[in-house]
Amino acid sequence: MRLPDRVTGLFLVGLGAAAAYGGWLLPPVPGQPVGPNVFPLVIGTGLALCGLAIAFGIGHSFEEEEELIPVEGGQPTPPTGKFYGLRALLPPALLLFYVVVADRLGFIITAALIVYVTSTALGARWKLSLPLAVLAPIGIHLIFSKLLRVPLPPGLLPMPW
């Protein structure tokens, strides 16, 4: 998802200003030449200036456009539907899902759902994604919970080991 430089630049101006303001609010340490407020102030100001420069297109000429390397027999062209770009947001959405429900449902069930959805989204048929969704969480649970003693949440389906 490529946003216009104007948008990213202005976002950085906002972020920088917020950081500088946040730094400015921090109390200085008495008797010390520089306190905890100096770094955020400097960084925030710098970030805001960079954001301005980006928004006005300074330094844009240095960017190299990524070349698509053609392959013999033609590159498979990605489908360019309106919502195709949103597919990239699927992994973070699934991670968020894990954070929210893992303690209640437990590792095995949550992980199985994540695996099933991801592999289906990548084009696997259910004959492939279903066994994977069952086996992968159990395998990883075995390694991390049994061998490496990571306390993965048991939830509804505790494993016998």
Q: 73-102: which residues touch other proteins (CB under 8 A)?
A: 73, 75-78, 84-85, 87-92, 94-96, 98-99, 102
CA-to-CA separations, 135 to 100, 124, 129, in angstroms, rounded: 23, 15, 10
Q: Which is nearer to other proteins, 121 or 156 (CB)?
A: 121
Cβ–Cβ under 8 Å, residues 126 and 117: no
Cβ–Cβ under 8 Å, residues 99 and 110: no
> Binding residue for other proteins (CB under 8 A) from 14, 128, 146, 156?
128
Shortest Cβ 138–other proteins spacing (Å): 11
Q: How many residues bind other proteins (CB under 8 A)?
A: 85
Residues 28 to 57: which contact other proteins by CB under 8 A?
A: 28-29, 32-37, 39-40, 43-44, 46-47, 50-51, 53-54
Q: Which is nearer to other proteins, 76 or 160 (CB)?
A: 76
DSSP sequence for 63-84: PPPPPPPP-TT-PPPPP--TTG
DSSP code of residue 20: H
